[in-house]
């Protein structure tokens, strides 16, 4: 996931933000 954000932070900035939030909520 981190690699994707570094690869294209501008392109998948929203997707990573959303996925990151969902992952954190599901993990907790």
Q: Is the pLDDT of residue 5 over 50?
A: no
Enumerate the H helices of the chain as residue ranges.
2-7, 13-27
The pLDDT, as a whole number, for residue 6 is 52
Question: How far is the C-alpha of 7 from the C-alpha of 20, rounded, in Å?
Answer: 16
Q: Which residue has the higher pLDDT, 10 or 23?
A: 23
pTM for this structure?
Answer: 0.23
Question: How far is the C-alpha of 3 from the C-alpha of 26, rounded, in Å?
Answer: 21
């Amino acid at each position: 996931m981190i690699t994707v954000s570094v690869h294209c932070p501008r392109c998948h900035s929203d997707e990573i933000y959303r996925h990151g939030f969902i992952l954190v909520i599901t993990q907790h």
